[in-house]
Structure 1
Amino acid sequence: MQVSDHAQPFHTDVGSIGVLFCHGFTGSPWSLMEWARITADAGYRVSLPRLPGHGTTWQELNLTTWRDWYAAVERAFLELRASCDKVFVAGLSMGGGLALRLAEKYPDDVAGLVLVNPAVLGAPKMLALPVLSLVKASSKSIGSDIAHAGVDEFAYDRTPLRAANSMMKMWLDVRSCLDLVSCPILVFRSTNDHVVPAASTAFVLSHVSSEDVTERVLERSYHVATMDHDKEQIFTESLEFFAAH
């Protein structure tokens, strides 16, 4: 299956401190590319993989599950861990959920988390997904929720429902073990997010065991804040977070 030009992964092999970037559901590395490149320019070893089923067609994404997506980020994480003194993990939306699962499974190896509108809960209408996904292949797109005019995330134009139902199963898995997360956390939450409810970030912050937690509220950005009006704040404060820890 041909991978879109906008969905190509990004990796660097210089630096003793690693940062793994995890993109969101129906998106691609493109949504985090500028952030990853700026982080690499600051001297960090960066890995931004493309999750299976992403950057091709929504039909292919429907053939994958959350375990495929997690396996991809876990593999990238272990590669960084083998070549770096410390590894941080950053994630957008579902990528935030994947980042949290890494911190649950490797509590001694994740140096810190930077989460942007992390998804571990969905809108109430998603409760119908287990049944709906059996009779319908897709629904309208959830991509490119961006306030900045003219900016495109290049996400899928449809949301694959079988894959979305699998993502909900991942959320259940992640939520059940959040108390295992003890590393420092920097989280950014958009006040106007049309994809992930604010309750998702609140749930994360109220259930992790981390003592060093900082929440930043973004007033000018929608869900894909890494490509929106507040992106410079995310880039700057994440680099300060990495340096401080």
Structure 2
Amino acid sequence: MTVRPGAEAFARDGDDVGVLLLHGFTGNPSSLRPWAEGLAAAGRTVRLPRLPGHGTSVRDMARTGWPDWLAEAETTFRDLRRRCRVVAVGGLSMGGALALALAQKYGPAHNPGPLPGVDGVILVNPAVRLTDPRLGALPVLRWVLPWLPPVGNDVKRPGVKEDAYDRIPSHALHSMLRGYRTVVADLPAVSQPLLVLRSTEDHVVPASSSALILDRVTSSRADEVILRDSYHVATIDNDAGEILRRSLSFLADLAGAPPAVGVAGRTR
């Protein structure tokens, strides 16, 4: 198994505030690398794993599914949790759904074992709901059509391209959607502070996905920041700097530092 150049996992040790970042479906860590490097440059401890089947070949991905991706995220989280006093989980698109799944399992209501749980959640264009009516046929269609057209590279900034697969494995897509249903059903279990950054123009995930999350979580703090100059893969788009700035302010709040001035989003 050969990992594509630039798709390698990223890990950097810093202070006692840790951040786990999770990439999206058919993508790889390269789409979150600037975000991870920016957090690390600010002194935070950062982990950005490469999810199973991603960043190698689409045939590798066809042999994986939601349980594999969630297991990798959970293993990385538990390692980070042992190292850090405060840990936030974040993600782009499907990575956001995985982050929510961790917040649910390692939240105040369900946290197993002696380790502390997830302290905060940062989501960029999170995917828990897709509205394409053709997806209703997927349970049957996946046995007939093993590959579907791609959804990657939704980037506004000229000259920037996401390193995503050129097709979608149908069985992996079906597994992801089943994972989404589980996450949506347990959204009220998410009570940690939440930051959602959403692009006004996103050609992959509808705005109703973020709205559903904000409506159903029980977080006492749930901020929504609107990104006006990026498409779906905002972490490598024109608003990448804004994502980093808002994330650093959110982490400072979690760590107990005075809140940054002038960066609050829409607070519920």
Q: After TM superposition, is the score higher than 0.5?
A: yes
CA distance in 2 between counterparts of 1:74 and 1:171 reads 16
Q: Distance in 2 between matches of 1:129 and 1:235?
A: 36
Structure 1 counterpart of 2:119: 111
Compute the displacement of 1:171 (Å).
Answer: 0.2
**Residue 39 in structure 1 maps to residue 39 in structure 2:** yes
Whole-Å separation in 1 of the counterparts to 2:128 and 2:2: 30
Q: What pairs up with 1:1-245 in 2 under 5 angstroms?
A: 1-108=1-108, 109-124=117-132, 125-245=134-254
Question: TM-score by structure 1 length?
Answer: 0.98
Residues matched between the structures, number: 245
Name the amino acid aligned to 1:227.
Answer: I
Q: How far is the alpha carbon of 1:20 from its aligned partner? A: 0.2
Q: What is the CA distance between 1:126 and its match in structure 2?
A: 1.8
- Structure 1: how far apart are the matches of 2:226 and 2:157? 17
Q: What's the offset of the Cα at 1:13?
A: 2.4
How much does 1:129 deviate? 1.5
Structure 2: distance between partners of 1:155 and 1:54: 9
CA distance in 2, matches of 1:44, 1:231: 17
- Alignment partners' CA distance in 1, 2:4 and 2:249: 32
- List per-residue Cα deviations over 1:202-232 (Å, max 9, x = no partner): 1111110101011011111110000111111
- Partner of 2:119, secondary structure, is strand
- The answer to which structure has the higher helix fraction is 1
CA distance in 2 between counterparts of 1:126 and 1:21 reads 27
Secondary structure class of the residue paired with 2:47: strand
Q: TM-score, normalised by structure 2?
A: 0.90
Structure with max Cα Rg: 2
Runs of 4+ in 1 over 6 A off after TM superposition: none
Secondary structure of 2:195's aligned partner? strand
Shift of 1:64: 0.4
One-letter amino acid of the counterpart of residue 5, structure 1: P
Shift of 1:33: 0.3
Gapped runs of 5+ residues in structure 2? 109-116, 255-268
Q: In the alignment, which residue of structure 1 is the partner of 2:265?
A: none
How far the C-alpha of 1:123 sits from its partner, in A, is 2.4
Shift of 1:14: 2.7
- 2-side partners of 1:123 and 1:60: how far apart? 27
- Identity level (%): 49
Distance 2:168 2:202 in 1: 17
